[in-house]
C-alpha cells in the first residue's frame, strides 16, 4: 500500500498538465487511486468534461484553483476527485479529524454533492458528514467532530466552527467554495470569511462558480493563494 502511494505521488509529480492535457480523455488517464477509479467506474463516470480536464490535473498538484463554468458542466467532480485524492495522499484516517470542508449555498446542493461523494468515495475509509441546518445542532455536533470531510451550507459550517470546542482544524488539507457566486448573492460573505478565519493558511483552496462577478473575484483574491484561473465558456 505504501508502494502504491509512492507510485501515485510520483505519477502526479511527473504529470504535466500543459503537455498531458492532449491525451487526457478518461478518468483512467489521471494520476488517481484505484479506489477512486473504481467508484467513478461504478457510477458510470468514464470521460471527463472540459472543466474537469482543465482543473483536476492542476488541483491534484495541490495548487489553488478558481474554476468558472456554467451550471451542468460537471464542477462537482472537478473538486470532489481532488478532495478525495488529497486525503489519500495525506493518509488521512478517522483519527485525523477534519481534512476537507466543502461549502455549498443550499441544502439541496449540499445533499447532491454528498451523494456524489458517497459514490466516488465508496472504496475509501474516511468519513463524511452533511451539515445543513436541517437537524438539531447538538445532535450534529457529536457526529461532526468525527468527520474527515464535511459538506454543508455556510451558516451551519460557520456555526459549528464557532461553537465546537475541540473541533480540530489543524489537519485541514482542502477548502472548497462551491457555487461561490450564489453564496455571495445569498448574503453569505460574512459566514465564508468566518469559516476561512478558522482554517490553517497552508490549506489548498478550490473555488468554483458559474459566473465571474466582482465579488467572486474579491473572494478569490482573499481566499486563494496564487490561483490558476480556469474558465470554460463552451459547451460540455
Query: Rounded to an integer, what distance in angstroms lies between the CA atom of residue 188 and that of residue 55?
Result: 25
CB of 179 to ligand ADP, least distance (A): 7
Pick between residue 75 and residue 156 the one whose CB is nearest to Mg ion: 75
Query: Binders of ligand ADP: how many residues, by CB under 6 A?
Result: 13
Query: Rounded to an integer, what distance in angstroms lies between the CA atom of residue 224 and that of residue 203?
Result: 9
Residue spans of alpha helices (H) in the chain: 2-14, 17-20, 34-42, 50-60, 75-89, 107-120, 137-144, 154-163, 180-185, 189-198, 214-223
Q: Does 101 bind ligand ADP (CB under 6 A)?
A: no
Q: Which does 170 bind (CB under 5 to 8 A by kind): Mg ion, ligand ADP, none?
A: none
Judged by CB under 5 A, the chain residues 61 through 90 that form the site for Mg ion are 75
Q: Which does 173 bind (CB under 5 to 8 A by kind): ligand ADP, Mg ion, none?
A: none
How many other CB atoms are there within 10 angstroms of residue 214's CB atom? 8
CB of 178 to Mg ion, least distance (A): 6
Query: Rounded to an integer, what distance in angstroms lies between the CA atom of residue 56 and that of residue 207?
Result: 12
Which residues have CB under 8 Å from 235's CB, separation 6+?
Answer: none
Sign of the Cα pseudo-torsion (139, 163, 215, 80, in order): negative
Query: Rounded to an integer, what distance in angstroms lies between the CA atom of residue 233 and that of residue 100?
Result: 28
Pick between residue 40 and residue 161 the one whose CB is nearest to ligand ADP: 40
End-to-end CA distance of the chain: 36
Mask 26-65, x = binds ligand ADP (CB under 6 A)? -------------------x-xxx--x-------------
Residue identified by cell 467572486 is 216
Q: Is 40 exposed, middle or buried (0-12, 13-18, 19+ CB in 10 A)?
A: buried
Pick between residue 72 and residue 134 the one whose CB is nearest to ligand ADP: 72
CB of 179 to Mg ion, least distance (A): 6
Phi, psi of 72 (to 5 degrees): 95, 5
Q: Does 209 bind ligand ADP (CB under 6 A)?
A: no
Among 36, 73, 148, 204, binds ligand ADP (CB under 6 A): 73
Q: Which does 77 bind (CB under 5 to 8 A by kind): ligand ADP, Mg ion, none?
A: ligand ADP
Mask 12-31, x = binds Mg ion (CB under 5 A)? --------------------
Q: Does 54 bind Mg ion (CB under 5 A)?
A: no
Pick between residue 70 and residue 135 the one whose CB is nearest to ligand ADP: 70
Applying CB under 6 A, the residues found at the interface with ligand ADP are: 45, 47-49, 52, 69, 71-77
Applying CB under 5 A, the residues found at the interface with Mg ion are: 75
Amino acid at each position: 500500500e505504501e508502494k502504491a502511494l509512492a507510485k501515485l505521488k510520483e505519477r502526479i509529480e511527473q504529470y504535466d498538465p500543459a503537455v498531458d492535457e492532449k491525451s487526457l480523455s478518461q478518468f483512467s488517464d489521471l494520476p488517481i487511486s484505484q479506489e477512486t477509479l473504481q467508484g467513478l467506474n461504478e457510477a458510470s463516470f468514464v470521460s471527463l468534461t472540459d472543466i474537469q480536464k482543465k482543473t483536476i490535473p492542476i488541483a491534484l498538484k495541490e495548487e489553488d484553483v478558481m474554476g468558472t463554468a456554467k451550471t451542468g458542466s460537471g464542477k462537482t467532480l472537478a473538486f470532489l476527485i481532488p478532495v478525495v485524492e488529497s486525503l489519500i495522499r495525506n493518509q488521512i484516517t478517522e483519527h485525523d479529524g477534519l481534512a476537507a470542508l466543502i461549502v455549498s449555498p443550499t441544502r439541496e446542493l449540499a445533499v447532491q454533492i454528498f451523494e456524489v461523494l458517497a459514490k466516488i468515495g465508496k472504496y475509501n475509509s474516511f468519513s463524511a458528514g452533511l451539515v445543513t441546518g436541517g437537524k438539531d445542532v447538538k445532535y450534529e455536533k457529536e457526529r461532526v467532530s468525527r468527520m474527515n470531510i464535511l459538506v454543508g451550507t455556510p451558516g451551519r459550517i460557520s456555526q459549528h466552527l464557532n461553537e465546537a470546542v475541540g473541533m480540530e482544524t489543524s489537519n485541514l488539507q482542502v477548502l472548497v467554495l462551491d457555487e461561490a457566486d450564489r453564496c455571495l448573492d445569498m448574503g453569505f460573505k460574512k459566514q465564508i470569511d468566518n469559516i476561512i478565519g478558522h482554517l490553517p493558511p497552508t490549506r489548498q483552496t478550490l473555488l468554483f462558480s458559474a459566473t465571474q462577478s466582482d465579488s467572486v473575484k474579491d473572494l478569490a483574491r482573499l481566499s486563494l493563494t496564487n490561483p490558476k484561473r480556469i474558465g470554460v465558456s463552451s459547451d460540455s
